[in-house]
Amino acid sequence: MKNGKLELYQDLKRRILTLELEPGADLDETQLSQEYGISRTPLRDVFRHLSGEGYLSIESNRGACVSPLSHKTLRDFFLAAPMIYAATGRLAARNATYEQIEELAQSALHFDEALDAGSTDELSLHNNRFHQLIGILADNEFLLPSHNRLLIDHARISQTFYRADDPALKTMLIRASSQHHEMVEAIRNRDEDRSEALVYEHWALSREFIEPEITPASLTIGL
């Protein structure tokens, strides 16, 4: 992508993950074309790219909007996430290269820095990047698209209920940070069983935070 397209692509992803653009929000092509200095054709290329990744929804009679968070989306998310995350974590321990593991370790440190700074948006973005990297480390072309699609809604759901002044949440985030570093070490040690177990522990922590607020009641049993 050229500069204007790349900037638009990156900014829209950031704004969607941090809920600056809310689920279902319509995108104004004229305003965005002017803001980023690109014509409608490259702008629509960006929209199509983001639609393919799950950030946007494109309808012929409506244009592009941010992917909604419907009841079905939430149901599917809570059913699929633990299975896909676990498979990805196991394969990451099997397939990661040394360079990839070092990048993952640096990503965990960036999350820690955002935690120390108390930055809601940066926490969400660095957490998302950490888990994106695990998907890349897994090196499975079938799992990666589903894994990344889950991460989009995981970030948005978490952001919806984040409260910076909640001490219980701060405790959870510190635990999440510790688990990130444990994941790095499990992957570094090629310990597939430990890597998978840590994914389930990390998922349980996420559920502890978001489930009381948003999980459909019919899904609380057996997850």
Same domain, 203 and 112: yes
At 149, the amino acid letter reads R
pLDDT digits (tens, 9 = 90+) for 94-118: 999 999 999 999 999 999 999 999 8
pLDDT digits (tens, 9 = 90+) for 104-153: 999 999 999 999 998 889 999 999 999 999 999 999 999 999 999 999 99
Quote the domain boundaries for residue 26. Answer: 3-66
- List the helix and strand counts (H, then E) for the chain: 9, 2
Same domain, 13 and 116: no
Contact 96, 137 (CB under 8 A): yes
Predicted local confidence at residue 211, as pLDDT: 67
**Share of residues in the chain with pLDDT > 70 (%):** 91
Written as six digits, the tokens of 52 are: 């393919």
Number of domains in the chain: 2
Angle at which helices 167-188 and 120-138 cross, to 10°: 20
Nearest to 107 by CA among 90, 87, 125: 125
Beta bridge partners of 63: 59
Q: What is the CATH number of the domain that holds 27?
A: 1.10.10.10
Same domain, 40 and 85: no
Same domain, 8 and 108: no
What is the rounded CA–CA span in Å between residue 196 and residue 144? Answer: 16
Residues, the chain:
223
Helices (H), ranges, 54-166: 71-95, 98-117, 120-138, 143-160
Of the residues 49, 66, 83, the one at which a domain ends: 66
What is the rounded CA–CA span in Å between residue 140 and residue 47? Answer: 25
> How many other C-beta atoms lie within 10 A of the C-beta of residue 155?
20
What is the rounded CA–CA span in Å between residue 198 and residue 38? Answer: 44
Same domain, 100 and 208: yes
Same domain, 103 and 45: no
pTM exceeds 0.75: yes
pLDDT digits (tens, 9 = 90+) for 13-31: 999 999 999 999 999 999 9
pLDDT digits (tens, 9 = 90+) for 192-218: 999 999 999 999 998 887 766 555 444
What is the rounded CA–CA span in Å between residue 152 and residue 155? Answer: 5
Same domain, 24 and 87: no
How far the first Cα of the chain sits from its last, in Å, is 40
Same domain, 137 and 75: yes
> How many other C-beta atoms lie within 10 A of the C-beta of residue 78?
20
